[in-house]
Structure 1
Amino acid sequence: MEDWIHLQDIKATLSESLEGKLIGLCVTGSIACVETHRLARLLIRHGATVQIFLTRAAAELVSPKALAWSTGRPVIQELTARCEHLEFFSGDKRADLLLLAPATANTLGKMAAGIDDNVVMTCLTTAAGNQIPILCAPGMHEPMMRNPAVLRSMKLLKEDGVEFLEPILAEGKQKMMAAEEIAARVLRRLGPGDLRGKGVLITGGPTREFLDPARCLTNPSSGLTAVLLAKEAYRRGGDVILVYGPGKVEPPSWITTEKVVTSDEMLKTCLKLAEQRKVDFVVAAAAVSDFRPSQAQETKRATAEGGFDLALETTPKIIQALRHALPQAKVVGFKASSSRDDEVLAGEAGRYLERGTVDLMVANSIVEKGMGFDSARNRYLLCGPGERRESLGPGEKSRLIPELWNRLLV
């Protein structure tokens, strides 16, 4: 069955990570099902084909016609002689994943007991029997979630291989995990898994070096590259932590983030994490300020006092400290250059390679119009040992970062 034509404008507009993947989205009668439209469209924007299965209780809360419009496919509410449960969860063309969102307490109890009395339960039974991955996002009030019977059902289902997407507390109430994070968990479950079991430490964003409490030296880095690197590493299964300066782009909630401001804070945080965590990859994408005032004033300088006489000193090289602290890790650096010439970019990157500071260096020009700092586009020159050199882009950073990770993992 082909998707309806109106989906052509949105399919794979965020990424192609789920291209060719079929996801069965089973919806039960929790008020959280009002998020189904947005969740389905997010998955489609990553390239997925989404087929919705709807219980009668859920159909009283959300319109099957509207859901069909959201996915470009008729919603399945009853099984027919077509045997839809076998069509989508058995055989060669079966779904890649079943996503149960929201899952009510009633549904969890029936799943644990093996009860099969509606379209969603039959799909769950069939998917489990065919070892299709099942992700489950509970949608119920907190007291219901604490009910011993519900907890027993969840424990049994976890033992059977069901992966639970923990609800969140918001506005004083327990709510189903946000649609964006559910999509991220689907992407991770269906991702390549080439970073599974690997610790990934990423630095990102700018730093600020203060002249006085009101003024600082900094740079226009938005932090977008580092956030995209962290999201892609998470999708690939990595145990990711992001050490992040005051960038404009807010890291998503599912990425463990340590926020810092100055280069000293970033250095201390990175070294602390190097001691506390298993780190296999270091990706130093932060735009660390290279200079700071030799002495900062403790109070705000009044304009009546006249201008500053600035004496600057260099800030510590965080990437060198991490190389020393993590000699077994693969270290990848980013080098921003004011040259457009690839030979110059390669020469600047080569100095880090020659000193053994990095295993790979990613150079880019910050003077190319519409690329680099504070831009969604860039072009990268990947430099490695020997004569290894490869250009990626120009293009959207969101499209280049997965390709960059492919190269880093070679």
Structure 2
Amino acid sequence: MLHPSKNIKSSEGSDLANQNIVLCITGSVAAVKCMELARKLMRQGVEVKVVMSEKATELITPQLMHWATGNPVTTELTGAIEHVELAQWGDLVLIAPSTANTLSKVACAVDDTPVTSVVSVAQGLKKPILIVPAMHESMYSHKIIQDNLSRLKEAGIQVLEPKLEEGKAKLPEVEEIVNLVKSLLHPKDLTGKKVLVTAGPTLEKIDPVKIITNKSSGKMGIEIARAAEMRGADVTLVYGTGTETPPPAIKTLRVETTSEMQDRIRDELQGNYDVFVSAAAPQDFTVENVSEDKLRHSEPINLKLVPAPRIVDEVRERSPETFLIGFKAEYEVSDEELEKAARGKMEESQLDMVVANDLARSGAGFESSTNDVLILSKSDLKRVKSSKLAIAHTIFDLIADELEGSKQ
């Protein structure tokens, strides 16, 4: 009989469907976030089994984690050799939170707790392991602790750095942990590929205080960069003035104006990128008569706007071998009109793929975590309504098909 708690599996997506994760909890006060972490993983499709150190059980109960995951919790090792069974079962071992004590034991292969024993077996099986430290900042900065973190990284164990604030080395946000888990478990089918992505809006100055810009948040472009990084690509993100925070693992170049974005891209194209995704929403116009002084509201303002440079056109000219994806945003149009606009964009800018959307549709706005798009390639047309990350993966699935087809 299915445990009722498992009814939430894949309720927020299936990015991690059919994946098994061993969640190891140690005696940091951040253990109070583990129920939320386990449930978030389950909502992405994960089956979670929990292992707890003795000190962890003094902070949260095994019964709570049993309820959260629907699976019994391991708190001791018996003749059933649970550490071997769990390490073999798991696709990834996640230690969150990890105390200084536990990470040091793992670094030195000391196996005297259920957690450290599971990790040792997983290392021997070459399973991916992610450690997320959480402790007081003075402990985290201790030289020997830092040396042990370096040893873990040298051994191939992933370490997600804590947030340093208020004198604490705090557990990162649950969303950040889950995103890194997704990255570690995703097939690396873009290994060896270089991907350049633009995201977010740009701004143009009217005077030292006033600007013109647009409502883009940068979320779609960031999710595209995230998906490429998950799949093993070497990713560079050129990011405008969006409101979203890029993943720390991705090289990010910040810009403000359209000309700055163009200059950055021009410099980057010398690096021979395989794929360029133009997901940014740069200003279509620049202000010709920018005032050096702050304009007074009591005076009429006449602005002369001139067309801004078309970034994708220059990319095609400078890097003809790069697979080029552009975006086309429309407002309150039919599917037929949206497809027509996408085909026009593909022909006009000589694109290999166009992602088009109608911003007026439900779940497709700038700030939304979902989107509703038409993806047009030279051989296919697909409509996708899903999370922006799932759409990003669909885009790269189609890119892989197109690149493979071009070799034949």
User: What is the deviation of 1:206?
Assistant: 2.2
User: What is the deviation of 1:76?
Assistant: 1.2
Two-structure CA RMSD over aligned residues (Å): 2.9
Please show how residues 286-365 of structure 1 align to structure 2 within 5 Å: 286-306=280-300, 308-338=301-331, 340-342=333-335, 344-354=337-347, 357-365=350-358
What SS does structure 1 have at the residue aligned with 2:7?
helix
CA-to-aligned-CA distance 1:359-389 (integer Å, 9 cap, x gap) = 212222345466455555543222233xx24
What SS does structure 2 have at the residue aligned with 1:86?
helix
User: What is the deviation of 1:127?
Assistant: 1.7
Structure 1 Cα separation of the partners of residues 302 and 139 of structure 2: 64
Q: Which residue of 2 aligns with 1:282?
A: 276
Q: Which residue of 1 aligns with 2:237?
A: 242
Structure 2 residue 61 is matched with structure 1 residue 63: yes
CA-to-aligned-CA distance 1:155-179 (integer Å, 9 cap, x gap) = 5444443222233422343334443
User: What is the deviation of 1:56?
Assistant: 0.6
Task: Quickly say closer, same or farther: Cα 1:153–1:296, change in 2 above 3 A.
Answer: closer
Q: Is this contact kept in 2: 1:29–1:57, CA < 8 A?
A: yes
CA-to-aligned-CA distance 1:167-193 (integer Å, 9 cap, x gap) = 342234333444332222211110121
Structure 2 residue 388 is matched with structure 1 residue 393: no
Q: Is this contact kept in 2: 1:370–1:377, CA < 8 A?
A: yes
User: What is the deviation of 1:78?
Assistant: 1.2
Q: Is this contact kept in 2: 1:340–1:368, CA < 8 A?
A: no
User: What is the deviation of 1:317?
Assistant: 0.9
What SS does structure 2 have at the residue aligned with 1:305?
coil
User: What is the deviation of 1:148?
Assistant: 5.4
Paired amino acid for 1:313: V
Q: Which residue of 1 aligns with 2:124?
A: 129
Q: Is this contact kept in 1: 2:10–2:42, CA < 8 A?
A: yes
What SS does structure 1 have at the residue aligned with 2:262?
helix
Q: Is this contact kept in 1: 2:25–2:56, CA < 8 A?
A: yes
Q: Is this contact kept in 2: 1:28–1:107, CA < 8 A?
A: yes
User: What is the deviation of 1:46?
Assistant: 1.8
Structure 2 Cα separation of the partners of residues 179 and 397 of structure 1: 18
Paired amino acid for 1:296: V
Structure 2 Cα separation of the partners of residues 329 and 339 of structure 1: 32
User: What is the deviation of 1:133?
Assistant: 1.8
User: What is the deviation of 1:119?
Assistant: 1.4
Task: Quickly say closer, same or farther: Cα 1:208–1:54, change in 2 above 3 A.
Answer: same
Query: Where in structure 2 are there 5+ consecutive unaligned residues?
Result: 402-408
CA-to-aligned-CA distance 1:290-331 (integer Å, 9 cap, x gap) = 12232122233334323x333321001111223344343221
After alignment, is 140-149 or 197-206 more displaced?
140-149
User: What is the deviation of 1:97?
Assistant: 0.9
Paired amino acid for 2:236: I
Q: Is this contact kept in 2: 1:339–1:345, CA < 8 A?
A: no
TM-score of the pair, normalised by structure 2? 0.86
Sequence identity (%): 37
Task: Quickly say closer, same or farther: Cα 1:356–1:264, change in 2 above 3 A.
Answer: closer
Q: Which residue of 1 aligns with 2:406?
A: none
Structure 2 Cα separation of the partners of residues 122 and 408 of structure 1: 42
User: What is the deviation of 1:390?
Assistant: 0.8
Structure 2 Cα separation of the partners of residues 270 and 42 of structure 1: 36
Please show how residues 200-239 of structure 1 align to structure 2 within 5 Å: 200-239=195-234
What SS does structure 2 have at the residue aligned with 1:304?
coil
User: What is the deviation of 1:233?
Assistant: 2.1
Paired amino acid for 1:4: H
User: What is the deviation of 1:47?
Assistant: 1.5
Structure 1 Cα separation of the partners of residues 140 and 369 of structure 2: 42
TM-score of the pair, normalised by structure 1? 0.85
Q: Which residue of 1 aligns with 2:4?
A: 5
Q: Which residue of 1 aligns with 2:405?
A: none
Paired amino acid for 1:340: V
User: What is the deviation of 1:333?
Assistant: 0.6
Q: Which residue of 1 aligns with 2:177?
A: 182
